[in-house]
Amino acid sequence: MQKIIRQRKIIETTGLPQTISPLLQRIYTSRGIKHENELQYSLAQLLKPNFKGMQDAVSILADAVVAQAKIMIVGDFDADGATSSALGVLALRAMGLQSVDFLVPNRFEYGYGLTPEIVRVAAAQTPDVIITVDNGISSIEGVNLARELGIAVIITDHHLPGELLPDADAIVNPNQPGCPFPSKNLAGVGVIFYVMNALRAELRSMGWFVESGITEPNMASFLDLVALGTVADVVPLDHNNRVLVAQGLARMRAGHARSGINAMLEVAGKTTQKIVASDLGFAIGPRLNAAGRLDDMSLGIQCLLCDSPSLAREMALQLDDLNRDRKAIEGGMQQEALRMLQKQLALDEQSLPWGLCLFDETWHQGVIGILASRIKDKYHRPTIVFADVGNDEIKGSARSIPGLHIRDALDAVAKKHPELLQKFGGHAMAAGMSLLRNNFDAFTKAFDEEVRRQLQEEDLQAVIQTDGELKSDELSMQLANQLRDAGPWGQHFPEPIFEGDFFVLQQKLVGDKHLKLLLSLDQQQAGWIEAIAFNIDPTVWPNNAIKKIHAVYKLDVNEYRGNYSLQLLIDYLEACDPLPASPLPGGGALLPT
């Protein structure tokens, strides 16, 4: 799909110090930065923990620690859930609790959240308290069963609640009604970090650490987990989240990451001392998620909990193998999905639904979320991909585009057609749901109608916002390093991206689907720059007839055998006129490895 390229609006500001370069000032202000305080990332900048339900949760947990009660943490089966589970276990152990364990529902057997089925599994270990992390806000039946069994339930979550809240003993969720915590963008791991931090303060005030002879834990030691879960869950990096991520990255670079994170970085070929936020999202996140997608997230959590570097590396290699399997499965599913859509496009491109729903009974339910994201990127339409889970039920994973709050759209469909959706939940840009197989066609029609009601035709046109063009002297290692250190960059605080025309000196395919380029700003080839575009369409590229391109790119420093060189990471490119445009399929977005 051809994309519109627009430069971000230049916003004048006097709130940033002159020590920041004009280019970086322009980049910051276009992302809403108005004052230098918003670029300060010390722990003192963190918001105070004024959560609704926090005191109730802390009181229950403090009593449980002092009484040496049994606590079971029930997590989600993604990277946010894994880091949340690991953080909860490690923090409670560090505070002196001897009996704390975790349980992650196998997505293929129990589904998402604190279901009655997973409560029964947990109950077999006779816990006194269940803490949910990164889930639970919609687990009404599961919470009711737990309390009937005499188990106290503390919900820590960040997902949007439904009309009814579970009858838990305590709920800590910045998005629950009446919660005054200013940032609604915390990931699940951020919520449990705040809870554990408040618990430490409560135990300290009770004299627990002194009386028990326990060294009070340094909560900053868990920030590597917080950074990983926050970036991997793709939550908006508002100032509070940037503080958490920046502090976690600083600990990793200083050599203070836990063994499991170091092992996954090593397996991914990343240098710990130079790690940036995107490495967490594109290198570690997919490998950690692969366990929950294809097997059991317990492997990922155990890797994060592991103290032994050698054992952690063994588990990291297993996760890497699972991720390779995931990519192979997803690749086949993607080809089949594209064939489905190509049939519709061949008939009439205008008839392609505004809201895409795809289903194949052979698709793997652990990979449908990634596939939905790929299709959404390619066609720039809200997309839901479904898989068969048995008993005439199918589960869907949705991804949205700017302008459509996907959870609210599903809520609107459910209210208009209460017979269609069995359950649903999620965020603005991602959601999950389940429905009966024979309701798929009716739901497909209802979802498309709702998307058409909420969006305008221009919303279906993909737009890339850039930070403008760089001068020849700005295409430098110095600027690339400066931009790397100016983050952390991420969702809603995007990494600087530039555009420009380049003459193509060389082009070749590497790794079957990546385009390696040698570019120059000067037709006389006075200087050249290396560039790479990942996951291109090999039927389009390389194309030796194309001698000049317009590229959207990021500046990167490439390291090879100890040598460093400037490299452009191309997100999107098209041939310059008079040749016909030849965009990268799906915008050429960099994909997780």
The pLDDT tens digits for 143-165 are 999 999 999 999 999 998 988 99
User: Where are the strands (E) in 405-457, listed by range?
Assistant: 421-426, 430-436
pLDDT tens for residues 21-78?
A: 999 999 999 999 989 999 999 999 999 999 999 999 999 999 999 999 999 999 988 8
Question: Is residue 191 very low, low, confident or very high in pLDDT (cuts 50, 70, 90)?
Answer: very high
Do 593 and 283 meet the contact criterion of CB atoms below 8 Å apart?
A: yes
Nearest partner of 466 among 159, 144, 27, judged by Cα: 27
pLDDT at 334: 85
pLDDT tens for residues 548-591?
A: 999 999 999 888 777 888 999 999 999 986 544 444 443 443 33
Nearest partner of 160 among 176, 136, 172, judged by Cα: 176
Q: Hunting for tokens 């503390």 — which residue is that? A: 154
DSSP character at residue 506 = E
CATH of domain 339-460: 3.10.310.30
In order of 175, 311, 317, 377, 385, the CA distances from 81 in angstroms are 17, 22, 20, 25, 22
d(CA 299, CA 301): 6
- How crowded is residue 586: how many other Cβ atoms within 10 Å of its Cβ? 23
Do 474 and 505 meet the contact criterion of CB atoms below 8 Å apart?
A: no
d(CA 77, CA 112): 8
- How crowded is residue 98: how many other Cβ atoms within 10 Å of its Cβ? 10
Whole-number average pLDDT of the chain: 91
d(CA 397, CA 385): 6
Domain positions in the chain are 4-29+464-588, 45-255, 339-460
pTM of the model: 0.89
Nearest partner of 534 among 278, 289, 349, 336, judged by Cα: 278
Q: What percent of the chain has pLDDT over 70?
A: 94
User: 45-255, which class in CATH?
Assistant: alpha beta
> Quick check: 248 pLDDT over 50?
yes
Q: Hunting for tokens 């008079």 — which residue is that? A: 578
User: 4-29+464-588, which class in CATH?
Assistant: mainly beta
> Quick check: 295 pLDDT over 80?
no
